[in-house]
Chains A and B, each alone.
Chain A
Amino acid sequence: MLFNSLIFVVFLVIVLAVYYSKLFNWTNKKRMLLFASYVFYGLWNPPLVILLWISTVVDWTAGKRLAVEENERKRKFWLLLSMFVNLGFLGFFKYGDFLLENFVTIVNLFGLDYNARPMDIILPMGISFYTFQTMSYTIDIYKRKIKPARTFLDFALYVTFFPQLVAGPIVRAKDLITQFYEEKKATYNQFVWGIFLLTIGLFQKVVLADTLLSGVADDVFGSSKLLHGIDAWTGTLAFSGQIFFDFAGYSTCAIGIALMLGIILPDNFRYPYASLGFSDLWNRWHISLSSWLRDYLYIPLGGNRHGITRMYVALMLTMLLGGLWHGAAWTFMVWGGLHGTYLILEKLQKKYLPFKITKWNGIFLAFITFSCVNITWVFFRAREFDTAWNMIKSMFYMQHDGEKILDSFSVVKVCIVIGILFLCHWIMRNTSMKEVSQKTSPWVLGIVWAILFFLISIAQGNGEQFIYFQF
């Protein structure tokens, strides 16, 4: 079920009505939320709910055993079982065809004439999100950082909580499960703020991503022609904006919906396109994933505890795997590799060419960072290396006969939207929407809110899926 659909509006109204009715006690309300979450997921593809159930049962059992088991070998066994099941699902459903394809290529390189038909496995929606979430639970119990959930219901709801089930934020057990222990009820202000966040998120998705930017990005990246530099840059900027508004829009909706239920989810984006460098970027972009990768991959790989070379290797491996998390293709690995390279270069710059960031050079640095990020998006969006490489050549004017495929209005529109996006991020980088809203007159906020809602209504959209659902 998509947040930007009528069925979700009906679903949410029913869930809220039952949640705030006096029909049920807290346990039954949680049961209702769990049931609603399975409906939310199952209306997409019912049989795949079974994967959620398996993941839930395995991690619940592993978590319980890890909490009481003292024998280290047995503890390792339960941890490995949990990881084997979760990564096994991920590997089979998400990377099955990719692994097979690469296996065939390697075998053919050795002169063996072997062909295999693609398995055409359906990718369960949000599998990368919920497997990472449940894995963090068992790993944290293994490290004795947290205690297991008090009840199976609390844990099952943690795995399946519908606002963040299919595209995050990836919430840690300590931040979410504990919220289920006591009855939750949004205050009036929380509830209304939740509706406001839902409006903002839908505006980002329906109006900005789908109506203003997606068409241009699709035209450019779907073109088989060698493009003019302006078209290549416009398409890349359009995708850059589209993916931000799409994903940040989903996260904002998720946070808003959860807040309407009195549940607090962490921020996932903090104005990333005004980042001052790449470490800053990863503290602002998809925060729940970057902190997951830091805690469960980068630090276990050694982090910065074993010298500079080892740290760079750990950093690069983390970013490469982070790239692969997004999709089963080498282009995603290149995307991750570029980010890894940027991070290493930034660390080298800080060591050998340090300089102070002032308000004068700050915006210039943010602009450079944003431009470099755009180059990585080319590999993220292009399905083939040839397309990506042609785009890069066009962007750096290495093509002399590139074709113009975009009309003038599309170019102007994308430049205006992305220009405003960049400036907004720059202005907002050290504050938050809540802070700004608190300083804004209720009339101005109300009028802005109405304009957003009006634009969502007349944009309508055709229920475009969120980009991150496929990851």
Chain B
Amino acid sequence: MNLKKSFLIALVISVIGLACWEIYWRSHGKYPTLNDDKSLWAMHRADIETATKDDVVIFGSSRAYFDLQLSEWEKWTGIKPIQLSSTGSTPLPSFHDLVNNTNFNGTVIIGVTPGLVFSTTYPFAEPWQRIQSKVDHFHNRTYAQRINYKLSVLLQQNLVFMSGDEELWADDIDLKALLRRINMKSRTKDPIMPPFYYFGDVSIERNMSMTARTAKDTTFANKIIDVWKYYGGGAHPPDKENTMAFLLEDVNKFKEKGGNLILVRCPSSGGTRIGENMGLPRAEYWDDLVKKANVKSYHFEDYDQLKDLTCPEESHLSKEDANYFTRELIKIMLEDGAITNLKTN
């Protein structure tokens, strides 16, 4: 057995193979991206432990994530928010964690996407489980996992083929994702979900921005819209009573601690907005929540400069529009005294 020879052959072929693999995917338009995973969320959740009264924490689903741009916020207020929104999730468990497990009493912004905030309190339902798994990971992560994540970030930011994402995008290129693309005749009765393609880049600061392709390529954006339709069609009826009670209990606790809570309804457009208005009418859900929570609140429809914004895939703003939305929202909030500008104070 000539192990030395085998080892050298393996080494050379592996290096060449991986280099070709990397070049191949780059030539198909892929670029290195960071995974929006629970480790990244937990890293920023840890920031709350040392946050002060001046700090701002954002909870919500993907709209608060895509539409509130951190650098823009910092530019106009002097403070970079801690972004803890989570795609496809209700903000109830993460806000509950902040209220009950931290001493934070600064500013909290909750992005209200009615279909998710009022969806459920059932712990095994997807909108709840998605964010709860992140909260649990924060509390249970080991030191090895923390260091491992820091090492993996280096690879994710530099290599395209390190793309295995928790989100399971249809265009991921890890082995599992490639196998998922093999289609055979269906044997189940379940409706087939349309392919859900990667459409937002996240940074290490957890700033999410829509990809240029989604913003400019209508055909591609329509594919994302198909996914919203799929989710909308299969959604369970909202559970307003329990979700509201759960949230309001935490809202009151947070206010008692001296915290400043702000509710924000980010834009949606097209069929998604029509569907939302039909299924979760503003007066019945948003207005009622605002009244009972009795905190500062901002609905994009109430402001001329925000109400006509168009979302390329009906649910999130492009990077440019998100910057505009953030800027204008901050101006409104500053005027309203909801937040302060640390630069001028």
Contact = CB atoms under 8 A, between A and B. Distances in A.
A7 B7 contact: no
B6 A404 contact: no
A239 to B, nearest CB: 17
Given A409-B182, A412-B184, A460-B174, A446 B151 contact: no
A371 interface: no
Contacts of A446: 5-10, 13
Contacts of A449: 6-7, 9-10
Interface stretch (B47-55, B107-115, B161-169, B240-248): B161-169
Contact of A406 (B8, B162, B182, B187): B187
B175 interface: yes
B283 interface: no
A453 B142 contact: no
A441 to B, nearest CB: 9
B185 interface: yes
A71 interface: no
A450 B13 contact: yes
A408 B151 contact: no
Interface string A420-432: 0000000000000
Interface in B5-34: 5-14, 17-18, 21
Nearest to B10: A449
Nearest to A452: B10
B188 A407 contact: yes
B181 to A, nearest CB: 10
A193 interface: yes
Contacts of A460: 162, 164, 174-175
User: Number of contact residues on A: which range applies?
Assistant: 35 or more
Interface stretch (A40-48, A285-293, A362-370): A40-48
A233 to B, nearest CB: 14
B17 A195 contact: no
A459 interface: yes
A284 B4 CA distance: 30
Given A43-B144, A408-B186, A438 B21 contact: no
B7 A44 contact: no
Contacts of A46: 143
A444 to B, nearest CB: 9
B318 to A, nearest CB: 30
B151 A7 contact: yes
B184 A407 contact: yes
Contacts of A453: 10, 14
A437 B6 CA distance: 10
B145 interface: yes
A454 B3 CA distance: 19
Nearest to A125: B142
A147 interface: no
B305 interface: no
Interface in A414-471: 437-438, 440, 442-443, 445-447, 449-450, 453-455, 457-463
Main SS class of interface, B: helix
Contact of A211 (B21, B145, B155, B175): B175
Contact of A443 (B9, B151, B182, B189): B9
A412 B184 CA distance: 10
Main SS class of interface, A: helix
B101 interface: no
Contacts of B186: 407-408
A6 interface: yes
A286 B182 CA distance: 35
B144 A7 contact: yes
Interface in A186-226: 188-189, 192-193, 195-196, 207, 211-212, 215
B176 interface: yes
Given A6-B152, A409-B182, A446-B13, A462 B164 contact: yes
A174 interface: no
Interface residues of B, number: 46
A188 B143 CA distance: 34
A457 B143 contact: no
B148 interface: yes
Given A406-B187, A437-B1, A462-B166, A7 B147 contact: yes
Contacts of B37: 462
B278 interface: no
A2 B149 CA distance: 13
A211 B151 contact: no
Contacts of A188: 3-4
B187 A461 contact: no
B2 interface: yes
A102 B186 CA distance: 44
Nearest to A199: B10
A407 B191 CA distance: 12
A10 B12 CA distance: 21
B10 A461 contact: no
B10 A211 contact: no
Contacts of A461: 164
Contact of B148 (A7, A195, A405): A7
A1 B155 CA distance: 19
A34 B256 CA distance: 51
Given A5-B144, A43-B144, A445-B6, A404 B13 contact: no
Nearest to B145: A463
Contacts of A104: none
Contacts of B3: 188-189, 192-193, 196, 442
Contact of A442 (B9, B11, B14, B142): B9
B268 to A, nearest CB: 32
B187 A459 contact: no
A413 interface: yes
A224 B153 CA distance: 37
Contacts of A196: 3, 6-7
Interface string A104-119: 0000000000000000
Contacts of A459: 164, 174-176
A446 B21 CA distance: 19
13 contacts: A6-B148, A7-B144, A43-B142, A45-B142, A192-B7, A195-B7, A207-B175, A408-B186, A409-B184, A442-B5, A443-B6, A446-B7, A454-B14
Interface of B: 1-14, 17-18, 21, 37, 142-145, 147-148, 151-152, 155, 161-162, 164, 166, 173-176, 178-179, 182-190
* Closest CB pairs A-B (n = 6): A446-B9, A450-B13, A449-B10, A408-B184, A43-B144, A442-B5
